[in-house]
Amino acid sequence: MNTSHASDGAADELLRALEAAGCRLTAERRAVAQLIASRDGAFDSADLLTDSRRRNLGVARATIFRTLDVLTSIGAVERLDLPSGEHSYVRCDTRAHHHHLVCTRCQRSVDLEQIGMMPIIAQIERETGYRVDGHRVELFGLCPACQAIEAGRSGEGAETG
Amino acid sequence: MNTSHASDGAADELLRALEAAGCRLTAERRAVAQLIASRDGAFDSADLLTDSRRRNLGVARATIFRTLDVLTSIGAVERLDLPSGEHSYVRCDTRAHHHHLVCTRCQRSVDLEQIGMMPIIAQIERETGYRVDGHRVELFGLCPACQAIEAGRSGEGAETG
DNA sequence: TTATATGCAAACGCTTTGCATCACG
DNA sequence: CGTGATGCAAAGCGTTTGCATATAA
């Protein structure tokens, strides 16, 4: 079962976001969008560079960074910091304020909207006197498939890709 | 009004933590502890290096990094990522699980314990099927003093140090 | 046609490391 | 004393940049 349909949709979304931001749709950006879309999880610049080389797409390192920059600035991807200290990127399904839950085993991630931080923040403002202007929430754990794998029964449709 | 009393307490705490971890209490570590304690807020390695030089403490760059490493590994300080993308450190008042609220203007920070993430996480686990093993919450805003300053009335005991 | 984007390689900034020396316990 | 810590400087690593070339619109 390949994921190319879902990937294409995601790639398109990235490209549309670039277009909307007034960026040119170059072959390289199409390639990067495709690479990002074919990963449904967190990835880093090195991942994309490796993928690009493996598929003979020949996108230069600098272009990957530059494309990630643009995509980040328009909110189509977000940069996050793994518990390990490395930072990686995730594609965002939504442009609205949200957070991410990342599988620490396969990197698959889900966007979380409306998780109900507002009352917590209001309480903290009351207690500390600070005015809270921004917050970052990152959750880490195991996706259902990886839970099954970790549990020892590594088959049963629990593939990560 | 100097802050040396509070600083000494904080420095002592750091040193005791090092001691408890089986580390030697060298002159350099005492110096770094002092430097960290004299900042009640987020700081980075460069800050400490600058301070060390300014005060003629002569602690080498490598030692600062190595000391921060140890302190981080024992939970006496924590590494966090500012909205700007830089990462910095904060001293932790507690060894228990907690989060940080950092003033984006003066870097002063407070530890937050028990902010009530548990029900939120339980809900997310239910909705996503993920098993959440860890989470990071970072809050950013303005401390009371900096709110006053930003409001235009820059006096009134609102100093940051 | 022309502003934008790319590739390359060098530069960059932060962090780590190898090794000889030093000093805490 | 002996192990663990330090200083120095060089190396490492991820990321950014300058500039000539290529290309989308």
B21-60 pLDDT per residue, tens: 999 999 999 999 999 999 989 999 999 999 999 999 999 9
Partners of A138 in the beta sheet? A100, B136
Residues of chain B found within 8 Å of residue A105, distances taken between Cβ atoms: none
Closest CA to A139 of B6, B146, B137: B137
Average pLDDT, chain B: 90
Partners of B109 in the beta sheet? B102
Residue A24 CB in 7 A reach of strand C: yes
According to the model, what pLDDT value does residue A9 have? 87
Those of residues 45-84 in A touching chain B at CB distance below 8 A are: 79, 81, 83
> Could you tell me the distance in Å between the CA of residue B26 and the C1' of nucleotide C12?
33
pLDDT bucket at B149, cuts 50 / 70 / 90: very high
Q: Which residues of A54-87 are buried (b: 16+ CB within 10 A; e: fewer)?
A: eeebebeeebbeebbebbeebebbbbbbbeeeee
Averages of pLDDT over each 10 residues, chain A, 161 residues: 60 96 97 94 96 95 98 95 88 94 95 95 98 96 96 58 44
Query: Using the beta-carbon criterion (under 8 Å), do A120 and B123 form an inter-chain contact?
Result: no
Q: What's the pTM?
A: 0.88
Closest CA to B102 of A138, A139, A120, A130: A130
pLDDT bucket at B156, cuts 50 / 70 / 90: low
According to the model, what pLDDT value does residue A4 have? 45
Which percentage of chain B shows pLDDT scores above 90?
81
According to the model, what pLDDT value does residue A84 have? 83
Q: How far is B95 from chain A (nearest CA, A)?
A: 18
Per the model's pLDDT, the better-predicted residue between B4 and B72 turns out to be B72
Q: How far is B72 from chain A (nearest CA, A)?
A: 12
Query: Using the beta-carbon criterion (under 8 Å), do B101 and A136 form an inter-chain contact?
Result: no
Query: Which nucleotide shows the minimum CA-to-C1' distance to residue B70?
Result: D5
